[in-house]
Chains A and B, each alone.
Chain A
Amino acid sequence: MSPRPAGPAPVVSFEDVSKVYGRLRAVDGLSLQLRRGETVAFLGPNGAGKSTSLDMLLALRKPTSGRIRMFGSDPYHAVKSGRVGAMLQSGGLMPGVTVRELVTLVTGFHPRPLPVDQTLRRAGITGIAGRRVDKLSGGQTQRVRFALAIVGDSDLIVLDEPTTAMDVESRQAFWANMNAEVARGRTLPFATHYLEEADQAADRILVLNQGRLLADGTPAQIKARAGAKRISFRLDHPDEPTLRRLPALVHLELRNDLVQIQSADSDRTLYALLNAGYRPREIEVSSLGLEQAFLAITAADNDHTAASAQATYAHAGEAI
């Protein structure tokens, strides 16, 4: 997906926002802006602060410090004036009523409601409208949650891990629907730990780790920032300090005679290596996917922090 032209004023802004629980800084000095019509992925491992950030955006939690503005007001009033629809990972449904009754009820709360039948159709739940909410499968429940996010004509739709319980097919159908929502001019921030999803669905990715914003850019920029290419070769008696001084080098790994390099400019790195008189064997140059880019960015960040980083890194690997 190509980046959309950015509107003049941001619809959402975080100004140095932090959320602290005891000794844990769940969100740590987050500053960002979302512009109208953007699809923005909040990408990070579990515990990166994605959900907490979205919760604060939705006025479910208060920032410990800093300020969040949305459509020129505070999050609470923006939510109450119906400008925001949201689908939460932790959002529940009222048991004991049918899908249609629930959607009708919540539609009634919206200041700019859309026809119930249209919402049911757009969420793909027309066929289960008569079923009891508490008798649905995980994927069906997820679609009902989505329906509740689009019952009205909201300007911003927040999705927290929207496709968690879905199979591949439903996931694709879901994003096809979402693209239609964005085409109506809505702004769409969503949290995910699926890199593939961020890469395919978002035109902008915010990489979060340990509550901080590590990178902000298009999927292509994120990949480039982490070192776009991986170079690997064999070299007898490699000299680590020399290799580390190679231009455009982002990350170096040595295992006996095997050298692996992440480089922002593989040509420059290789030429410098050859000019230095080395004659490496079995040279391979490959593109880094977003996954490696993401791992590289978060791993580099974790290296800076103390012992706790180890656990987060393991977590990141697991989430991906």
Chain B
Amino acid sequence: MNDTLALAAAEVRRLGRNKRYSIFSVALPVVLYLVVAPQVKQASAYGVSYAAYYMVAMASIGAFSGALTGNAQRISQERKDGWIRQLRLTSLPANAYVLAKVIASMVTTIPSVAIVLVLGRFYGGVHLAAWKWLAIAGVIWLGALTFAALAVAIGYRFAPDTVQPVAMLVYFVMSILGGLWFALAGWMQKVGQGLPTYQITRAGTGLISGGTVSMTSIGVILAWLAAFTLLAVLAVRSTAETL
């Protein structure tokens, strides 16, 4: 396990040096929160103030894009380049690479979530009890785990030249229909209810308004986590011989 953590630490270090990663997962949600949120005339969404909803949405989008788009691309590229093969020739356990990717992804998600929540408190004027802040961060973090698993599945399944369009398609469908760009209503909300992104946001707003998370939200998020994990395991297994 120590070796796996060492690999995860190396992953975190190199992600910290990666400008594109920082821009998409950290800077983008911050800029959107500072620039777009004040433009919206809508006073509230999902039973909380718009500033509170948008804080949850932006923290989710940062965590989500950080865990999904860059990771899928890197896994696919490193599979093609043979880095995964190289690691299989070491004494590392067979699943170390995937575990390290997920751990690194979870660690690098922390600042993007934390920064947006801090902005929500001091710029958006969202006031909450300490445990609620932690619970919101926790729910979003669990959501990031879901997408880290999806990134593994996509990264193993698709070649580097096709992985980006696939990841972007998933990203836009999940973020728009999940209500991360704007609060949903009508038919979009009906469709969106089945998505983990929507339920992560609703879990966050539920915590803010009533201090509870609905069983539906937890059920939907865990179902997607299980489904993506299964896809990831299948993808890793099916490519074991061709790595």
Cα–Cα distance between A82 and B89 once the two chains are bound (Å)? 9
A278 within 8 A of B: no
Residues of chain B within 8 A (CB-CB) of A65 are none
Whether the Cβ atoms of A109 and B3 lie closer than 8 Å is yes
Whether the Cβ atoms of B82 and A60 lie closer than 8 Å is no
Partner of A109, one of B80, B83, B91: B91
Residues of chain A within 8 A (CB-CB) of B86 are 88, 91-93, 145, 148
Residues of chain A within 8 A (CB-CB) of B15 are 96
Contact with A along B71-109 (1 / 0, CB 8 A): 000000110111111101111110000000000000000
Residues of chain B within 8 A (CB-CB) of A62 are 241
A256 within 8 A of B: no
Given A61-B241, A109-B92, residue A95 in contact with residue B14 (CB < 8 A) = yes
Partner of B91, one of A82, A91, A97: A82
Partner of A92, one of B10, B13, B78: B78
A195 within 8 A of B: no
Cα–Cα distance between A101 and B14 once the two chains are bound (Å)? 10
Whether the Cβ atoms of B81 and A93 lie closer than 8 Å is yes
B-contacting residues, A106-136, CB 8 Å:
106, 108-111
Cα–Cα distance between A92 and B74 once the two chains are bound (Å)? 13
Whether the Cβ atoms of A58 and B89 lie closer than 8 Å is yes
Interface size for chain B: under 10, 10 to 19, 20 to 34, or 35 or more residues?
20 to 34
Residues of chain A within 8 A (CB-CB) of B3 are 108-109
B177 within 8 A of A: no
A81 within 8 A of B: yes
Residues of chain B within 8 A (CB-CB) of A97 are 10, 13-14
Main secondary structure of the interface of B (DSSP, over half): helix
A80 within 8 A of B: yes
A90 within 8 A of B: yes
Partner of A105, one of B7, B88, B241: B7
Q: Nearest Cβ distance between residue B111 and chain A, in whole angstroms?
A: 18
B39 within 8 A of A: no
A-contacting residues, B43-95, CB 8 Å:
77-78, 80-86, 88-93
B6 within 8 A of A: yes
Cα–Cα distance between A106 and B82 once the two chains are bound (Å)? 15
Contact with B along A61-92 (1 / 0, CB 8 A): 11000000000000000011110111010111
Among A61, A88, A105, residue most surrounded by chain B Cβ atoms (within 10 Å): A105
Main secondary structure of the interface of A (DSSP, over half): loop
Whether the Cβ atoms of A90 and B82 lie closer than 8 Å is yes
Partner of A91, one of B10, B85, B241: B85
Residues of chain A within 8 A (CB-CB) of B6 are 105, 108-109
Cα–Cα distance between A108 and B7 once the two chains are bound (Å)? 10
Given A62-B241, A92-B83, A109-B3, residue A84 in contact with residue B10 (CB < 8 A) = no
B243 within 8 A of A: yes
B41 within 8 A of A: no
Nearest A-chain residue to B88, judged by Cβ:
A60
Contact with A along B1-41 (1 / 0, CB 8 A): 00100110010011101100000000000000000000000
Cα–Cα distance between A75 and B238 once the two chains are bound (Å)? 20
Residues of chain A within 8 A (CB-CB) of B243 are 60
Residues of chain B within 8 A (CB-CB) of A94 are 10, 14, 78, 83
Whether the Cβ atoms of A88 and B89 lie closer than 8 Å is yes
Residues of chain B within 8 A (CB-CB) of A101 are 10, 13
Whether the Cβ atoms of A110 and B83 lie closer than 8 Å is no
Nearest A-chain residue to B81, judged by Cβ:
A92
Chain A interface (Cβ within 8 Å of chain B)? 58-62, 79-82, 84-86, 88, 90-97, 101, 105-106, 108-111, 145, 148
Chain B interface (Cβ within 8 Å of chain A)? 3, 6-7, 10, 13-15, 17-18, 77-78, 80-86, 88-93, 241, 243
Contacts A91-B86, A92-B81, A92-B83 aside, 8 further interface pairs with beta carbons under 8 A come to A60-B88, A60-B243, A91-B82, A92-B85, A92-B86, A93-B81, A94-B78, A110-B90
In the assembled complex, 21 residue pairs joining A and B whose CB atoms fall closer than 8 Å, in A order, are A58-B88, A59-B88, A61-B241, A62-B241, A81-B91, A88-B82, A90-B85, A91-B82, A91-B86, A91-B89, A92-B78, A92-B84, A94-B10, A94-B14, A95-B81, A96-B17, A97-B10, A105-B6, A106-B90, A108-B3, A109-B6
